[in-house]
């Protein structure tokens, strides 16, 4: 009964987010064009001067997966900022004051972001042939699972952090100081050695695993032997981040929203 | 009895009691107004009754399911980018209503609140008064047994305030068994209510029925505009033994128990032409009585001058 209730609440909030996304076309354009622009400028710019050791793909192909991770990151970030706006407008207060299970609220927000990410990834995939990536060789099941689990992980972290920080400016600062650098050293822009500090950090960095799994789905024969391990870690991180977001929603009090 | 508080205390900050209630009972169908100035604890009592304070207290008991309790806050809680209908649908789903119930309630409530023409409009495009009405519709959509209103007309102009109370009046007629609890410091808004709880410093100072309040009402109220309140107040008391209460920085209020007394006071005021700018006489309203009670109750705590800024105008 409770799980059905949780699902219904998640469904209602997912519907709300998708409705809003449909009405905010400018947001779509921004979220899709930013990774595309990064990929175009950096990927094409560096493709002729950068060669990847021990890799079957060129830099443009390598960075394409990184751009997809950027899409996931930016979408979950801006989606989380909308949660702060919900708190400031009073919408969140009414939802928290409702008898809705808090897990349902978190799942609804995460599901909304997953939908948005999937649609944007489809748009971005249309540009994959520009990097000589064949859409017929994409492992779609793995690609979609990566998108879903990866978005759930980043969405959970960002939603929880947004509620914790509770200020758009503060959240922007966190984005600039922590999340964007984490994206850079995730293996999205350049290969990360498995040894040393960066290697250790990337083991805990969910974006490293998302980048690995996207690469694994898109590029046949890509040197990503750690893909199964990455998937396992990402799954654990997704569960923990969902728990974090739910806990932050549960801790939110009506009198302080 | 549907909700009770016994030996209930709540602190926002450790060591500072925001609310302390020995015993309080809310009965089914009651229309209860929580009255007090800013910071008196009325919103805290409202949230305590609604079970929304993080008190971990066992001293609150409630016979109504959470699904049947609804809240209207000081600010509109709707998503301004969605239409009114989309918002009402959303909140009803979050509260667990079925599709059939949602469709039925949507028609019924929009007709009751006379807002059928607003359903397809984005909330952000509505006026403040229309948004509040839509927010009230949201609260009514879930078929509540009790509705909590926390200063629901804060920030609205007089016309929008009237729109809101008129909508609530219609809802009350449609659902006579609905229990309504409202925190407000606007005495002129509380004509719908039957029971009045006055709060000050987080304590219930007075718990009275409407009949009792009205019974205490004086015959007439004289409102005096003056450039020097304290001087006129002193003169009236010393020379004529007339009690005048400071209403605003430039207004005094005095009560009369008969028309003859009013005439006598008016005559006396003509002797102070330089101190009196204008005088208004009106029949004493419920709002006057509530204001007087508030002034009397807060007198032991603070002087009236600081009160005048916290209290709103008294409508005739």
Tens-digit pLDDT profile for residues B260-298: 888 888 888 888 878 888 888 888 888 888 888 888 787
Report H helices in chain B. Answer: 42-50, 84-94, 99-112, 128-141, 158-174, 210-215, 229-240, 259-269, 286-298, 304-310
Q: Which of A180, A192, A193, A187 is nearest to A210 (CA)?
A: A187
At a CB cut-off of 8 Å and minimum separation 6, what does A232 contact?
none
For residue B151, CA distances in Å to B46, B160, B182, B273 come to: 10, 14, 7, 40
Query: Measured between CB atoms, does A20 come within 8 Å of chain B?
Result: yes
Query: Measured between CB atoms, does A91 come within 8 Å of chain B?
Result: yes
Among B19, B75, B90, B94, pick the best mutation site for testing chain A contact (most A Cβ within 10 A).
Answer: B94
Give the closest of A5, A91, A253 to B79, CB-based. Answer: A91
pLDDT digits (tens, 9 = 90+) for B207-236: 999 888 888 776 788 888 888 888 888 888
Query: What is the Cα–Cα distance from B80 to B131, expressed in whole angstroms?
Result: 9
User: CA of B50, closest CA in chain A: separation in Å?
Assistant: 9
Q: How many CB atoms lie within 10 A of CB B267?
A: 10
Query: With pLDDT > 70 as the criterion, what percentage of chain B qualifies?
Result: 92
Query: What is the Cα–Cα distance from B127 to B135, expressed in whole angstroms?
Result: 12
- Whether ipTM tops 0.90, in short, is no
Give the closest of B80, B95, B96 to A89, CB-based. Answer: B80
Residues in B touching A98 (Cβ below 8 Å) = 91, 94-95
Kindly tell me if the per-residue pLDDT of B186 is higher than 80. Answer: no
On whether the CB atoms of residues A18 and A115 are closer than 8 A, the answer is yes
Query: What is the Cα–Cα distance from A212 to A231, expressed in whole angstroms?
Result: 9
Query: What is the Cα–Cα distance from B93 to A100, expressed in whole angstroms?
Result: 10
On whether the CB atoms of residues A55 and A222 are closer than 8 A, the answer is yes
On whether the CB atoms of residues A194 and A111 are closer than 8 A, the answer is no
Query: With pLDDT > 90 as the criterion, what percentage of chain B qualifies?
Result: 34
- The dihedrals phi and psi of A42, each to the nearest 5 degrees, come to -75, -45
Edge to edge, what strands does the sheet with B245-248 contain?
A: B245-248, B251-256, B220-225, B278-283
Confidence of residue B306 (pLDDT cuts 50, 70, 90): very low
pLDDT digits (tens, 9 = 90+) for B152-185: 887 778 888 888 888 888 888 888 899 999 998 7
Kindly tell me if the per-residue pLDDT of B307 is higher than 60. Answer: no
> Cβ separation of B12 and A255 shorter than 8 Å?
yes
Query: Measured between CB atoms, does B81 come within 8 Å of chain A?
Result: yes
Summary mean pLDDT of chain B: 85
Which pLDDT tens digits describe chain A residue by residue (257 residues)?
Answer: 678 899 999 999 999 999 998 888 777 777 778 778 888 888 777 777 777 776 677 888 888 889 999 999 988 998 899 899 998 888 998 999 899 999 999 999 999 999 999 988 998 888 888 888 888 888 899 999 999 999 999 999 999 999 998 888 988 888 788 888 899 888 888 888 777 888 888 889 999 999 989 988 888 766 556 778 889 999 999 999 999 999 999 888 766 54
Helix, strand, coil content of chain B in percent (nearest 5): 40, 25, 30
Residues in A touching B44 (Cβ below 8 Å) = 255
Query: Measured between CB atoms, does A254 come within 8 Å of chain B?
Result: yes
One DSSP character per residue, A11-41 reads HHHHHHHHHHHHH-HHHHHHHHHHHHHHIII
């Amino acid at each position: 009964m409770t799980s059905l209730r949780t699902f219904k609440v998640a469904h209602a909030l997912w519907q709300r987010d998708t409705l809003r996304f449909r009405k905010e076309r400018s947001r779509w354009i921004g979220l899709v064009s930013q990774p595309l622009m990064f990929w175009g400028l950096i990927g094409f710019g560096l493709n002729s001067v950068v060669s990847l050791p021990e890799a079957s793909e060129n830099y443009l192909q390598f960075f394409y997966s990184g751009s997809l991770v950027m899409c996931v990151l930016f979408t979950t970030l801006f989606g989380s900022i909308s949660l702060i706006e919900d708190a400031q407008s009073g919408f969140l207060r009414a939802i928290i004051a409702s008898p809705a299970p808090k897990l349902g609220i978190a799942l609804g927000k995460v599901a909304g972001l997953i939908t948005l990410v999937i649609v944007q990834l489809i748009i971005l995939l249309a540009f994959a042939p520009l990097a000589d990536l064949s859409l017929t060789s994409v492992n779609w099941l793995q690609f979609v699972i990566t998108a879903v689990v990866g978005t759930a992980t980043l969405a959970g972290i960002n939603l929880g952090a947004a509620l914790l920080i509770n200020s758009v400016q503060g959240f922007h600062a966190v984005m600039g100081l922590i999340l964007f650098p984490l994206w850079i050293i995730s293996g999205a822009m350049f290969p990360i050695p498995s040894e040393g500090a960066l290697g250790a950090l990337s083991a805990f960095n969910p974006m490293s695993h998302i980048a690995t799994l996207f690469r694994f789905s898109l590029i046949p024969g890509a040197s990503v032997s750690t893909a199964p391990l990455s998937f396992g870690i990402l799954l654990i991180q997704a569960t923990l981040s969902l728990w974090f977001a739910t806990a932050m929603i549960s801790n939110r009090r009506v009198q302080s929203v | 009895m549907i909700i009770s508080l016994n030996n209930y205390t709540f602190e926002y900050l450790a060591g500072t009691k925001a609310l302390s209630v020995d015993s309080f009972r809310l009965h089914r169908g009651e229309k209860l107004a929580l009255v007090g100035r800013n910071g008196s604890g009325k919103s805290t009592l409202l949230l305590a009754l609604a079970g929304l304070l993080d008190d971990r207290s066992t001293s609150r008991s409630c016979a109504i399911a959470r699904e049947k309790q609804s809240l209207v806050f000081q600010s509109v809680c709707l998503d301004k980018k969605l239409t009114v209908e989309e918002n009402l649908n959303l909140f009803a789903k979050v509260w667990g209503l079925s599709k059939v119930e949602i469709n039925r309630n949507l028609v019924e409530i929009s007709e009751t609140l006379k807002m059928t023409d607003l359903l397809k409009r984005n909330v952000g495009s509505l006026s403040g008064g229309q948004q509040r009405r839509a927010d009230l519709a949201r609260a009514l959509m879930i078929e509540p047994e009790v509705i909590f209103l926390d200063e629901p007309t804060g920030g609205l102009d007089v016309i929008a305030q009237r729109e809101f109370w008129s909508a609530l009046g219609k809802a009350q007629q449609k659902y006579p068994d609905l229990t309504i609890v409202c925190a407000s410091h606007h005495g002129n808004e509380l004509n719908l209510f039957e029971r009045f709880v006055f709060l000050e410093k987080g304590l219930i100072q007075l718990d009275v029925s409407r009949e009792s309040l009205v019974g205490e009402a004086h015959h007439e109220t004289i409102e005096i505009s003056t450039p020097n309140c304290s001087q006129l107040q002193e003169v009236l008391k010393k020379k004529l033994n007339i009690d005048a209460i400071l209403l605003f920085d430039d207004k005094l209020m005095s009560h009369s128990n008969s028309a003859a007394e009013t005439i006598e006071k008016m005559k006396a005021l003509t002797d102070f032409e330089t101190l009196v700018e204008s005088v208004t006489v009106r029949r004493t309203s419920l709002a006057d009585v509530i204001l007087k009670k508030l002034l009397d109750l807060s007198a032991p705590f603070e002087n009236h001058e600081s009160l005048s800024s916290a209290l709103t105008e008294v409508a005739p």
